Structure 1
Amino acid sequence: MDVFGSVAERYDTARPGYPPELTDAIAGYHGSAPTSVVEIGAGTGKGKGTEILAALAAPLTCIEPDPRMATRLTRKFPQAHVLIGTFEQWRPPPGGVALLACAMAWHWLDPATRNTRARAALTAGGTLALFGHRYGYADPAQAAAIRATLDNLDSTAKERPADWMYHDVMAAGEFTDVRVQRFRRSLPLTRDEYLALVSTFGPFLTRPPELQRQGLDALGRLVDDFGGTVTLDLLTTLTLGRAA
């Protein structure tokens, strides 16, 4: 996850936040105010879930492996206890935590152990909350043109299904009462806003600099052809599970 530290400031300004309804959805599922909350891979707190989790008004611990992201996170959320390290390095307190959350970082964790580790970190009856965005496009013609442009540059990047975290948790069998909720909104972006967003995505950041430049140039020309605006169909998926 340390690929994001080099663009920490841009990540904080370009990534869309989450709908505030997520806070009520998590609290309603948990059934009472959580006594402790831990966030995995908190980043700068913006594109991740810290804003949503801080609104629960419970003691909050944020785990973030990149010191550059953690520095910005600490400035924005001084009330949170920020730990620099990975989820695998973290040791839960005795008895576990009431709520464990992860936003847009679940795929960075080891698929073979992430559900087992999450279950072991929670108190009996504790809540797992996983959420993230699926970046679609409101205009099918824009979607097709953007996908074709990206495939011409690099056809190896594959997008996960919107509900993949729900299916991951269900398949692991570590949690009960697993549910999924969806939130949808349209988000118009200018050319510069859209290119800034794309330049914070993990698949983009792991590509060679020349391929990054070619991608942004091609997408910029495409957005100009669209009239200078791209409207995202932003689907936010929330997966909830309970530790038995």
Structure 2
Amino acid sequence: MATVFGEVAGSYDEARPGYPPAVAEAILAYHREVPRRLVEVGAGTGLATALLAGLGAPVTCVEPDPRMAAVLAARHPEVEVVVAPFEEWTPPPGGVPALACAMAWHWLDPATRCRRAHDALAPGGTLAVLAHRYDYVDPAQGAALRAAFESVDPDRRTDPREGWFGEEIAASGLFVDVRTESLRRPVPLTTAAYQRLVSTFSPQLRRPPELRERVLAAVGAAVDGFGGTVTLDLRTTLVLARRPR
């Protein structure tokens, strides 16, 4: 499933919301200086790459899907792009000063991701893992949209706990100074923009084409019923941790 998003590589970057500048500020403050190099795992089309490159460090992006990697390389020619799963990527001798993963930690092998991240880092290196959680500012809009989804596809999917990856990283015992920061912002979307966003979600990409169209029609009708705009309550969790020296 880590390569399912290549199907929508062309629209992924436009449809998905990016990251607030405070994320980069928090990483820089935690690391205490501009990293000599930063590696981004599961970089996709580069939504977080632009923010991370702004730190001023040379960036290497590791992305398993060649379709996503092609979009990433075209949009961010300033970064090095390695087309490989994280599990097959070999870090440089001595490790890297900083390793980041945005919206992709759950796609990495759960049995090895903490150990691989630890081993990829230089002693004292910084791990930064971040993810969005999508909700709705107006509970009535949220209830109506959930009902719209379920009216077409009653197979309900339960999201993991918010910030679960921070608990996992801390529990691994491989890192020290584990910190979690939460950022929250409203994101208004038109009907068409919301449908584009839904089209990039993995549950939607798992559905057969006919069911995808029915889902988009149902959620589009729901947003039209609000006057053509839905406001997301976008919550971003950033977990920072350090490999012991």
Matched with 2:243 is 243
TM-score, with structure 2 as normaliser = 0.96
Partners of 1:197 and 1:146 lie apart in 2 by 14
Give 2:33's aligned amino acid: S
Partners of 1:186 and 1:196 lie apart in 2 by 18
TM-score, with structure 1 as normaliser = 0.97
Which structure 1 segments of 5+ residues have no match?
A: none
Partners of 2:53 and 2:109 lie apart in 1 by 26
Equivalent positions of 1:30-41 (< 5 A) are: 30-41=31-42
Matched with 2:104 is 105
Partners of 1:199 and 1:241 lie apart in 2 by 33
Partners of 1:6 and 1:200 lie apart in 2 by 9
Worse-matched range after superposition: 73-82 or 93-102: 73-82
Give 1:181's aligned amino acid: E
1:149 to partner: Cα distance: 2.4
Partners of 1:173 and 1:188 lie apart in 2 by 40
Equivalent positions of 1:121-200 (< 5 A) are: 121-152=120-151, 153-200=153-200
Equivalent positions of 1:21-32 (< 5 A) are: 21-32=22-33
Matched with 2:77 is 78
Partners of 1:67 and 1:195 lie apart in 2 by 25
Partners of 2:120 and 2:154 lie apart in 1 by 38
Matched with 2:205 is 205
Q: Which runs of 4+ in 1 moved over 3 A?
A: none
Paired-residue identity, %: 55
1:133 to partner: Cα distance: 0.8
1:53 to partner: Cα distance: 0.9
Partners of 2:143 and 2:207 lie apart in 1 by 22
User: For residues 106-158 of structure 1, what are the alpha-carbon distances to aligned partners after superposition, in whole Å with 9 as ceiling and x for unaligned?
Assistant: 00011111000000000010000001111110000011111222234132422
1:183 to partner: Cα distance: 0.9
Matched with 1:6 is 7
- SS at 2:87 equivalent: coil
Aligned Cα root-mean-square deviation (Å): 1.0
Give 1:63's aligned amino acid: V
Give the paired residue count: 242
- SS at 1:35 equivalent: coil
Matched with 2:59 is 60
Matched with 1:16 is 17
User: For residues 70-116 of structure 1, what are the alpha-carbon distances to aligned partners after superposition, in whole Å with 9 as ceiling and x for unaligned?
Assistant: 11111111111100010001000000000000000000011111000
Give 2:201's aligned amino acid: F
Partners of 2:195 and 2:174 lie apart in 1 by 39
Match status 1:215 vs 2:215: yes
Distance change in 2, residues 1:150/1:171 (3 Å) = farther
Partners of 1:221 and 1:151 lie apart in 2 by 14
Partners of 2:185 and 2:137 lie apart in 1 by 10
Which structure 2 segments of 5+ residues have no match?
A: none
User: For residues 191-211 of structure 1, what are the alpha-carbon distances to aligned partners after superposition, in whole Å with 9 as ceiling and x for unaligned?
Assistant: 000000010011111111122
Give 1:95's aligned amino acid: G
